[in-house]
Structure 1
Amino acid sequence: MTEVLLETRGLTMHFPVRAGAVFRRKVGAVQAVDGVDLTVHQGESFGLVGESGCGKSTTGRLIARLLEPTAGSISYAGRDITHSSRKELAPIRPEIQMIFQDPYSSLNPRHTVGGIIAGPMEVNGINPPGGRKKRVRELLETVGLNPEHYNRYPHEFSGGQRQRIGVARALALKPKLIVADEPVSALDVSIQAQVVNLLQRLQRELDIAFIFIAHDLAVVRHFSQRIAVMYLGKIVEIADRADLYGNPHHPYTHALLSSVPDADPDSESHRERIRLTGDVPSPINPPSGCRFRTRCWKAQDICASQEPPLVQLGGTADGHLAACHFPEPRQVVATA
């Protein structure tokens, strides 16, 4: 196993809820992320999946230090960056980059493509050999765009091409870690595979670690080596791709995978659809104990009184972790 690049322990983000027209006193908090433990190794593609509103995008922004965490710790390359100042983060910023979800709003319409991609280099005072313009043209070619489009504006490109521009901007500073926040969810289905394949090729060739955030389980399975499943601000399961999809332990993961369309409904691996009852509880007032218990068909009294820890199950040593008092039985699965 390669060296650990990023590690979070008890990572928490609570957004205050305020009331009152004048004093704006705090009356509660949205528990968007609540005690997340993650480890990402150098050059690894790590997937983070869950329903909308589960806190996965907030987790990504915390890791990139675009948000200040309420509690917990973030360690990058052995250095604690949890509450580092802007000046202290300056040498680390180039190494952690983001690809945003919306290729339309994430690019400044007043700037040319060349200016957008060269921007990070200007901010960090980087002058690559041959100049910034040459580097930008190389990046455009790397992501599959015409280098001659240097002087064009974002509105002249399609959604897929704009996302490629966003990818080129993220690569400009030669990062070691890229947080990709739902990078293909806003794109046409026919374009999604092209962008995912591009990211996969760059991850492999440039040895960049990726945190790939998405709600599409099929896309995450194609891209990620290890996957974490998130529900209502908590990580409920982490496992290798083959083990997670072939042998889920947590009931929520089991339900998520049962909703994935199967190309061959008569195959032996076909899962019966599990329909969860009720709505996702409010993150302002989440359930006690296990947060999934209000929708879980296996819930018992202990699920309301005790929060299940994220632990290795069944005495195995394969790194398959789950947070459940009554996990699904372990099976022998083939590797992907």
Structure 2
Amino acid sequence: MSENVTLPKQQGPTDKPAGEPLLTVEGLTKHFPIYGGFPFKRQVGAVKAVDGVDLTVHAGESLGLVGESGCGKSTTGRLITRLMEPTAGKITYAGRDITRANRKQLAPVRSEIQMIFQDPYSSLNPRQTVGTIIKSPMEVNGINPPGGRENRVRELLETVGLNPEHYNRFPHEFSGGQRQRIGVARALALEPKLIVADEPVSALDVSIQAQVVNLLQKVQDELGIAFLFIAHDLAVVRHFSQRVAVMYLGKVMEVADRDSLYNRPRHPYTHALLSAVPEADVDTGKKERIRLAGDVPSPVNPPSGCRFRTRCWKAQDKCATEEPPLVQISGNREGHLTACHFPEEPSTEARTEDVVMDPALAALEEEHGSDD
């Protein structure tokens, strides 16, 4: 197998958001209470998993959400789909405030916002056939497509690259990649306008990841579905997403279009994440590897001011007393937002080509292209 292969630049999505804002998240917060005391328990603290997140997803676009494990990415996705109740903030979908909507009010929205879960093994009921799993959302929402539900399920199986004859098989008869395709088919059953993909390829072998990513790309291109693509693999995010948001300890640190963020990162944390991505030529020695000091602080007691300051090489006194707002700074392209008092200077040497896929993933990507 060859050395790291450069991710083909021409295969990525377009850079500009498509359509009007479909989803707007403002100040989204989720705190999990911590109880202690004896004999009477009381709240003694809270895990600040998500602490004031602002995001926008346009109709038909894909927004990548990246960051270290435990930064609150998956919790944000579950809050947006209302699988969790937010502590504070506002979620606006298609002009409707769904933050505190009850079950009845959410019913028409449920069919338009779907989720692809991270684990393709635990997200499917092992006692139900594939046909029942994919058909269930239609039954719950009272949808009777032309030709019947079974015919629709078989069409969806074919759409995601599976044999329609797999209708009566059980999940244990499929591989991990095939199970994730079933999860995609289930998400498509209600013809949603927005899909929250929670690390959809992280549990798969690298040889299968490109197939699933290409499948999602094909679905988006053909059906115009918007995606919130949650992942920690920066190469996969760059390939799939038009815009990227970087999270750290429950906060969004930087938001920009794909090429602007990968070529000209302004937040030190984003710079550190990108420096850890393998180079196209490991022998050049041109790329500086940034090694962050210390561990990620506890979300129970995050640092004051900027949450990244305890690991940041540019931190000053101001960083400890004032939380930097997420705003556009001088020298940024329009729409490039950064939450930093002392942002990095844009590098003229940064290149999109430095972001590479795993060799096996890149080879399969080249073999299958977008026809998977």
Instruction: Give the TM-score normalised by structure 1.
Output: 0.97
1:96 aligns with 2:133: no
Question: Quick check: 2:262–2:351 contact (8 Å CA) kept in 1?
Answer: no
Q: Structure 1 CA distance, aligned partners of 2:179 and 2:49?
A: 29
1:56 aligns with 2:73: yes
Q: Structure 1 CA distance, aligned partners of 2:221 and 2:67?
A: 25
1:41 to 58, 62, 66: 58
Q: Structure 2 CA distance, aligned partners of 1:99 and 1:28?
A: 32
User: In structure 1, what is the equivalent of residue 11 of structure 2?
Assistant: none
Q: Structure 2 CA distance, aligned partners of 1:27 and 1:9?
A: 27
Q: Which amino acid aligns with 1:330?
A: P
Question: Quick check: 1:118–1:169 contact (8 Å CA) kept in 2?
Answer: yes
User: What are the ranges of 5 or more consecutive residues in structure 1 without an aligned counterpart?
Assistant: none
1:221 to 238, 245, 248: 238
Q: Structure 2 CA distance, aligned partners of 1:287 and 1:100?
A: 31
User: In structure 1, what is the equivalent of residue 10 of structure 2?
Assistant: none
User: How far did residue 2 of structure 1 move?
Assistant: 1.4
Q: Structure 1 CA distance, aligned partners of 2:275 and 2:171?
A: 39
User: How far did residue 335 of structure 1 move?
Assistant: 7.7
Give the direction of change, closer, same or farther, for the CA distance of 1:31–1:141 in structure 2 (3 Å limit). Answer: same
Q: Which amino acid aligns with 1:35?
A: G
1:319 to 294, 317, 335: 335
2:280 to 263, 266, 285: 263
Give the direction of change, closer, same or farther, for the CA distance of 1:21–1:145 in structure 2 (3 Å limit). Answer: farther
Q: Which amino acid aligns with 1:292?
A: F
User: In structure 2, what is the equivalent of residue 130 of structure 1?
Assistant: 147
User: How far did residue 316 of structure 1 move?
Assistant: 4.4
Question: Quick check: 1:243–1:335 contact (8 Å CA) kept in 2?
Answer: no
User: In structure 1, what is the equivalent of residue 294 of structure 2?
Assistant: 278
Question: Quick check: 2:116–2:200 contact (8 Å CA) kept in 1?
Answer: yes
Q: Which runs of 4+ in 1 moved over 6 A?
A: 333-336
User: How far did residue 264 of structure 1 move?
Assistant: 1.5
Q: Which amino acid aligns with 2:288?
A: E
User: How far did residue 75 of structure 1 move?
Assistant: 0.2
Cα RMSD, aligned residues only: 1.4
Q: Structure 1 CA distance, aligned partners of 2:177 and 2:345?
A: 42
Q: Which amino acid aligns with 1:223?
A: F
Q: Structure 1 CA distance, aligned partners of 2:65 and 2:96?
A: 23
Q: Structure 1 CA distance, aligned partners of 2:346 and 2:218?
A: 33
User: How far did residue 326 of structure 1 move?
Assistant: 0.6
1:73 aligns with 2:81: no
User: How far did residue 173 of structure 1 move?
Assistant: 0.1
User: In structure 1, what is the equivalent of residue 187 of structure 2?
Assistant: 170
Q: Structure 1 CA distance, aligned partners of 2:252 and 2:206?
A: 28
Q: Structure 2 CA distance, aligned partners of 1:99 and 1:267?
A: 39
Give the direction of change, closer, same or farther, for the CA distance of 1:3–1:335 in structure 2 (3 Å limit). Answer: farther
Percentage of pairs with the same residue: 78
Q: Does the residue aligned with 1:160 lie in a helix, a strand or coil?
A: helix
User: How far did residue 317 of structure 1 move?
Assistant: 4.9
Q: Does the residue aligned with 1:9 lie in a helix, a strand or coil?
A: strand
User: What are the ranges of 5 or more consecutive residues in structure 2 without an aligned counterpart?
Assistant: 1-17, 354-372
Q: Structure 1 CA distance, aligned partners of 2:277 and 2:252?
A: 20
Report matched runs for 1:17-36 at 5 Å: 17-20=34-37, 23-36=40-53
- Which structure has more relative contact order (CA 8 Å, sep 6+)? It is 2
Give the direction of change, closer, same or farther, for the CA distance of 1:187–1:309 in structure 2 (3 Å limit). Answer: same
Q: Does the residue aligned with 2:48 lie in a helix, a strand or coil?
A: strand
Q: Does the residue aligned with 2:270 lie in a helix, a strand or coil?
A: helix
Q: Which amino acid aligns with 1:18?
A: Y
User: How far did residue 25 of structure 1 move?
Assistant: 1.2
User: How far did residue 21 of structure 1 move?
Assistant: 6.2
Question: Quick check: 2:260–2:333 contact (8 Å CA) kept in 1?
Answer: no
1:293 aligns with 2:293: no
Instruction: Give the TM-score normalised by structure 2.
Output: 0.88
Q: Structure 1 CA distance, aligned partners of 2:40 and 2:61?
A: 47
Q: Which amino acid aligns with 2:307?
A: R
Residues 305-314 or 15-24, more deviating: 15-24
